[in-house]
Chain A
Amino acid sequence: MPRGPVGRRPGSLVASRPLPVALAATCYATAMRALPGRFRRAYGREMLLDLEDRLEAMWMRSGTGAVVVSLAASLADLALRAGRERGRQLVHFLGVGGGPGRAGAARLHGRPGGASGYSLELGERAMNGSRSLGLAVRSLLRRPGFAAVTVLTMGVGLGSVIAIFTVVHAVLIQPLPYPDSDRIVNLEHHAPGIDLPNLNNSPGTLSMYLESADFVSALAGVTTVQRVLTGLDLPQRIDVLGVTDQFFEVMGTVPAVGRPLLPSDNVDGAAPVIVVAHDFWTTGLGANPDVVGSRLELDGVSTEIVGVLPEAFVFVQPGPVGLVPYGPLDPQNFGTFGTNGVGRLAEGVTLEQARVRIDALQARIPELFPDIDAAFLESAGWSASITPLKEDLVDDVATTLWLVLGTVGFVLVIAWANVANLFLVRAESRQKEIAVRVALGAGRARVAASFLNEALVVGVVGGLIGALVSQAGVGALMSAAADSLPRSAEVALTPTVLAFTVLVSLGSGLLLGLLPLTRFRSGATAGVLRDGYRGSTDGRGRVRLRSVLVMGQLAMAMVLVVGSGLMFRSLAALRQVDPGFTPDGVLAMEVSVGEAMSIPEAATFYAGVAERARAMPGVAEAAVVTQAPLMSGTMNGGSFHIRSRPTEDDELPAVGYYRAASPEYFRTMGIPLLEGRTMTSADLDGSTRSIWIDRSFADTHFPSSEFPDGAVGELITWDGQLLDDEPDAVPWVEVAGVVGDTRYISIQEDETANAYFPLRTGALGYPALTTATVVVKTDGPGSPAAYADELREIVAAANGSVPVTRIQTMQEAMRQALAGDSITLVILGIAAGMALFLGAVGLYGVISYVVSQRTREIGVRMALGAHRDQVSAMVLRQGAAVAAAGVALGLLGAFGLTRIMRAILYESVSATDPVTFVLAPMLLLAVSALAMWVPARRAARVDPMRSLRDD
């Protein structure tokens, strides 16, 4: 046959079509089975031909992505039409069953526009049917196995969706719990040119906006402050928010008791005051009604409680127990960033207008702050941004949460498909019973209602089980992820969640009940009685519908397997990352002396604790550091200067971070010394003025091209302000050694430039020592956690009013650093496992059914000399087509979804990771083969004599 349009056979895989188009057409062709046979015979061929032409044009114009999108739209369109056509069949069935003389079918075909009449009739029938709800329960209970499997499958599917929806609703959908919360915005700055892509605010920027910003009606600086609270039971560290005057106006709240913080509280020398949170008032202060006017001891300072926040006031990040004055804002301090800026948009100002106006204000920075010139701002890539507060809070987790919701949505659909398959089987097994009932005069409507009622009962009971499952699930999720999830305090069972639960449960039940009904045709029941069910053409229709269901299940399982495979690869890559220290056997104890001690006093105190810890049996080494890796703590830093290489005017200063450590720190953590000398106790009195830097610091700021002798011996300082005015007074420190890189912020972070001061260099005014971590390396067997109690006793014995704020092994810190990813992987993994299992069960069910239907045919074939292997192969071929179509559709879907995954994968893993995309289809096909193997073997074992005799 000559090549060309006439020679092409529509409806088959044509070699001349590009592969994505051919794959998509196969999927569409399979999905077309959802349409009634009559419709397909009339239009199917041309529909497919049109689709192929359309997709091919798309592919040539815009590539595979457009094909996937267009296929999805076409499938949605197909689903709508299939639903309508099947609905017509159903109405037809019910209409004829309503009684003799009713020309329901004729009317239906005559008036597609007049649907309202039918829904009314349906409604009437449903009313009648509802009386037999009790019957449905009894009927289900007669087959407890069927009832249990369907109800539990629906329960698990619904439960996981409800659980994740509860979290998504609370975190992403619900507005923040403040009046007109969509008007509350977060102000940020960006300086990508000096490696500071995200900066919040400094006293200078806040003063500037308070002075000149007309786009906000109120503006406040907010910063989290740690205080040590004494005078109640045990000393404890608490978080409070330091806020400027207008905080209450921004958030739209006033204290329930007492007064808010006033401008007079925010001046130098004002008496210390606090407004406490409602929670803290009830749990910490015994809900004392006369609390206003009483006093708390914070960092040793007597502080007056002037108010209590209302019960409904929720902190966006859980933790703080009260509000304290921020203190006066220094309008000339441009450089000390670290304060969040929140504002309330002024009346009538849109977000876009506010963005334009804040941009315009940035141009005034050089005139307001003489130290900052326009050239510096330009080279830093300086800009300001305004984001709705909610967006700013939940942005990090939004992708993960939507992904997880999509995942469990898939599981629900797969679970639903499995239950639907079970219902189809059950409908078949009841064929004869139904035919007899109809023949005896039972209305078809009543028969249909009995199906619908059973399905609704399964949906409702499944929904109840789902609600219980979801409560357990939300509890488990919150205990595992509450710390890493913003707004976790707001996660609760709300009316919206309840409505969602009811809707999804009833919807699932309704869909379940309608599905088997579409398989009935008006003439079919008579045929059942006449022929017996076996061999009638209806069987093929059912297999087709069930094959489509199974194909969809396998496709979704494929997407989930790819998703969890990618997540697994990402986590595996993260576990391979060398954190730069040896966590084994190391216990870290965070201790806070607060502001009560001077820096030398604090240094002596911490060193004393470490010394006593070192004397404990089983402890090899102990040290002090102001920030331990992967734990919270104080990290200081910013731009610094190198003496031998002054910064040019148009050049950006170098940026590095520092912390303080005792000499034993590097040994305790297993951080190697690469160059120079090691830190000794001689460095502690400040006389040597030395500093140690890590490999990244050295490579970034002392490249061998400019520093052929390396970094050791170079002088640096973070006190840049003195350089111009009093060059002699600059406290230079000398680089004494270079040590290995350590990941402090997260496992994922790129190497940042880190430096270490000796602990007791307090004279230089560098790292604050309000909080420090004592790290202990044990050499005994067993977990280092066993030493925790003894360490606490050492601190308590040294000073009874100093709290131990955290004790954790470094192994735990490593685990927690990967906890978010681990939870995502576990959820995706469970979902993929369930999807795979349910898909395999579905495939097994369909193939078993086909074998049971074709037993006689197989018997004939074998009697005529067909070999067992040929029979097995015949059965496997049928299943393989379904599995292959499912895998192909799933692969297309997975490719489409990888864009979402990219945001949460570790950088070394590609979203189209070839290993995952090769192994996942293989796994799916292997599981499918396993599911088909059992029924195929059964087919091969058919005894021709018996199968022919039995029928």
Chain B
Amino acid sequence: MSSSHEPTADELLPLKTSWFHILLALSEGALHGFGIRESVEARTGGKVKLYPANLYGSIQDLTELGLLDALSDDEQPDDDRRRQYYRLTRRGREVLTLEADRLQQLVDAARAGRAPAG
């Protein structure tokens, strides 16, 4: 049963907050773990903290789900060879878009609900 091996993009929603932010950080280009953390903490004003074990654990989980992959040695940028870079896969981008749409619908619903009262 291949479906149990590979959940469809839809089955992955809603995404965990930390996963969503990691995918979002990578949507702008390949980053290493440290770069992902800095990007996420900057974007959320430090509200979402990615401690090392959670960060790399999530990278592992997302890689196993086929949403990220690691850059090979040839593709790695030269500036920091000690660090492994990651990028979004096509599937990762698809899941990120679906999640963003889902969040957008929630935002719309919240605004619509508030409008008559306010």
Give Cα A46 to B11, complex, Å. 31
A108-116, A269-277, A756-764: which lies at the interface: A108-116
The answer to whether A112 and B56 touch (CB under 8 A), given A46-B84, A107-B5, is no
Task: State whether the Cβ of B59 lies closer than 8 Å to any Cβ in chain A.
Answer: yes
Task: State whether the Cβ of B46 lies closer than 8 Å to any Cβ in chain A.
Answer: no
Give Cα A114 to B65, complex, Å. 12
The answer to whether A50 and B4 touch (CB under 8 A), given A39-B60, A112-B65, is no
A71-79, A692-700, A719-727: which lies at the interface: A71-79
Contact assessment for B54 and A81 in the assembled complex, using a CB-CB cutoff below 8 Å: yes
Residues A59-81 near B (CB distance < 8 A): 73-74, 77-78, 80-81
Task: State whether the Cβ of A85 lies closer than 8 Å to any Cβ in chain B.
Answer: yes
Task: State whether the Cβ of A173 lies closer than 8 Å to any Cβ in chain B.
Answer: no
The answer to whether A112 and B84 touch (CB under 8 A), given A43-B56, A47-B53, A107-B4, is no
Contact assessment for B37 and A74 in the assembled complex, using a CB-CB cutoff below 8 Å: no
The answer to whether A78 and B52 touch (CB under 8 A), given A43-B59, A46-B33, A112-B64, is yes
Contact assessment for A110 and B80 in the assembled complex, using a CB-CB cutoff below 8 Å: no
Contact assessment for A111 and B7 in the assembled complex, using a CB-CB cutoff below 8 Å: yes
Task: State whether the Cβ of A49 lies closer than 8 Å to any Cβ in chain B.
Answer: yes
Give Cα A77 to B4, complex, Å. 29
Contact assessment for B53 and A50 in the assembled complex, using a CB-CB cutoff below 8 Å: no
Contact assessment for B53 and A82 in the assembled complex, using a CB-CB cutoff below 8 Å: yes
Contact assessment for B4 and A46 in the assembled complex, using a CB-CB cutoff below 8 Å: no
A47, closest chain B residue (CB): B52
Least CB distance from A95 to B in Å reads 13
Contact assessment for B61 and A112 in the assembled complex, using a CB-CB cutoff below 8 Å: yes
Chain A residues with Cβ under 8 A from B80's Cβ? 5
* Cβ proximity bits B25-40 to A, threshold 8 Å, 1 near / 0 not: 0000000111001000
Contact assessment for B53 and A46 in the assembled complex, using a CB-CB cutoff below 8 Å: no
Contact assessment for A111 and B4 in the assembled complex, using a CB-CB cutoff below 8 Å: yes
Give Cα A563 to B34, complex, Å. 38
Chain B residues with Cβ under 8 A from A328's Cβ? none
Contact assessment for A46 and B32 in the assembled complex, using a CB-CB cutoff below 8 Å: yes
Chain B residues with Cβ under 8 A from A374's Cβ? none
B81, closest chain A residue (CB): A6
Chain B residues with Cβ under 8 A from A46's Cβ? 32-34, 56, 82-84
Chain B residues with Cβ under 8 A from A51's Cβ? 52
Give Cα A42 to B55, complex, Å. 13
Chain A residues with Cβ under 8 A from B32's Cβ? 46
Contact assessment for A50 and B61 in the assembled complex, using a CB-CB cutoff below 8 Å: no
Task: State whether the Cβ of B109 lies closer than 8 Å to any Cβ in chain A.
Answer: no
Residues B35-76 near A (CB distance < 8 A): 37, 49, 51-57, 59-61, 64-65
Give Cα A316 to B6, complex, Å. 64
Chain A residues with Cβ under 8 A from B51's Cβ? 73-74, 77-78
Contact assessment for A110 and B55 in the assembled complex, using a CB-CB cutoff below 8 Å: no
Chain B residues with Cβ under 8 A from A73's Cβ? 49, 51
B6, B7, B49, B52: the one contacting A50 at CB < 8 Å is B52
Chain B residues with Cβ under 8 A from A39's Cβ? 56-57, 60
B5, B6, B53, B82: the one contacting A35 at CB < 8 Å is B53
Give Cα A435 to B34, complex, Å. 44
Give Cα A78 to B50, complex, Å. 11
Chain B residues with Cβ under 8 A from A45's Cβ? 82
Contact assessment for A81 and B57 in the assembled complex, using a CB-CB cutoff below 8 Å: yes
Give Cα A39 to B56, complex, Å. 9
Give Cα A46 to B83, complex, Å. 7
Least CB distance from B63 to A in Å reads 9
A34, closest chain B residue (CB): B53
Secondary structure dominating the interface of B: helix
The answer to whether A77 and B54 touch (CB under 8 A), given A49-B34, A113-B7, A113-B12, is yes
The answer to whether A110 and B54 touch (CB under 8 A), given A50-B34, A53-B34, is no
Chain B residues with Cβ under 8 A from A111's Cβ? 4, 7
Residues A112-159 near B (CB distance < 8 A): 112-114
A109, closest chain B residue (CB): B64
Least CB distance from A42 to B in Å reads 7
Chain A residues with Cβ under 8 A from B33's Cβ? 43, 46-47, 50
Chain A residues with Cβ under 8 A from B56's Cβ? 39, 42-43, 46-47
* Cβ proximity bits A93-113 to B, threshold 8 Å, 1 near / 0 not: 000000000010011011111
Chain B residues with Cβ under 8 A from A114's Cβ? 7
Least CB distance from B43 to A in Å reads 17
Size bracket of the A interface = 20 to 34
Least CB distance from A30 to B in Å reads 14
Chain B residues with Cβ under 8 A from A107's Cβ? 4-5
Chain B residues with Cβ under 8 A from A10's Cβ? 82
Give Cα A42 to B11, complex, Å. 27
Q: Name the residue in B12, B52, B54, B55 with the highest tally of chain A Cβ atoms < 10 Å from its Cβ.
A: B52
Task: State whether the Cβ of A806 lies closer than 8 Å to any Cβ in chain B.
Answer: no
Contact assessment for A49 and B53 in the assembled complex, using a CB-CB cutoff below 8 Å: no
Give Cα A113 to B58, complex, Å. 12
Give Cα A77 to B51, complex, Å. 6
Contact assessment for A77 and B52 in the assembled complex, using a CB-CB cutoff below 8 Å: yes
Chain A residues with Cβ under 8 A from B52's Cβ? 47-48, 50-51, 74, 77-78
Task: State whether the Cβ of A84 lies closer than 8 Å to any Cβ in chain B.
Answer: yes
Give Cα A73 to B46, complex, Å. 14
The answer to whether A80 and B53 touch (CB under 8 A), given A10-B82, A46-B83, A50-B37, is yes
Contact assessment for B84 and A77 in the assembled complex, using a CB-CB cutoff below 8 Å: no
Give Cα A113 to B56, complex, Å. 17
Least CB distance from B29 to A in Å reads 19
The answer to whether A81 and B6 touch (CB under 8 A), given A42-B60, A50-B37, is no
Least CB distance from B34 to A in Å reads 5
Chain A residues with Cβ under 8 A from B34's Cβ? 46, 49-50, 53
Least CB distance from A878 to B in Å reads 26
Contact assessment for A74 and B12 in the assembled complex, using a CB-CB cutoff below 8 Å: no
B37, closest chain A residue (CB): A50
Chain B residues with Cβ under 8 A from A50's Cβ? 33-34, 37, 52, 55
Chain B residues with Cβ under 8 A from A5's Cβ? 80, 82
Give Cα A93 to B80, complex, Å. 39
The answer to whether A80 and B82 touch (CB under 8 A), given A49-B34, A110-B7, A111-B4, is no
Chain A residues with Cβ under 8 A from B64's Cβ? 109-110, 112
Least CB distance from A637 to B in Å reads 55
Chain B residues with Cβ under 8 A from A110's Cβ? 4-7, 64
Give Cα A53 to B80, complex, Å. 14
Give Cα A895 to B21, complex, Å. 35
Give Cα A478 to B30, complex, Å. 64
Give Cα A42 to B4, complex, Å. 25
Chain A residues with Cβ under 8 A from B54's Cβ? 77, 80-81
Chain B residues with Cβ under 8 A from A112's Cβ? 61, 64-65
The answer to whether A81 and B82 touch (CB under 8 A), given A43-B59, A113-B12, is no
Q: Name the residue in A45, A50, A53 with the highest tally of chain B Cβ atoms < 10 Å from its Cβ.
A: A50
Least CB distance from A496 to B in Å reads 33
Give Cα A46 to B35, complex, Å. 12
Least CB distance from B37 to A in Å reads 7
Least CB distance from B58 to A in Å reads 9
Chain A residues with Cβ under 8 A from B37's Cβ? 50
Give Cα A364 to B77, complex, Å. 75
Contact assessment for A78 and B4 in the assembled complex, using a CB-CB cutoff below 8 Å: no
**5 extra A-B contacts, CB within 8 A, seeds A45-B82, A49-B34, A81-B53:** A5-B82, A6-B82, A43-B60, A85-B57, A111-B7
Closest 5 CB pairs of A and B: A77-B51, A81-B53, A43-B56, A47-B52, A110-B5
Residues in chain B within 8 A of chain A (CB atoms): 4-7, 11-12, 32-34, 37, 49, 51-57, 59-61, 64-65, 80-84
15 pairs across A/B with beta carbons < 8 Å? A5-B80, A6-B81, A35-B53, A43-B56, A46-B32, A46-B83, A46-B84, A47-B53, A74-B52, A78-B53, A82-B53, A106-B4, A110-B7, A112-B64, A113-B12
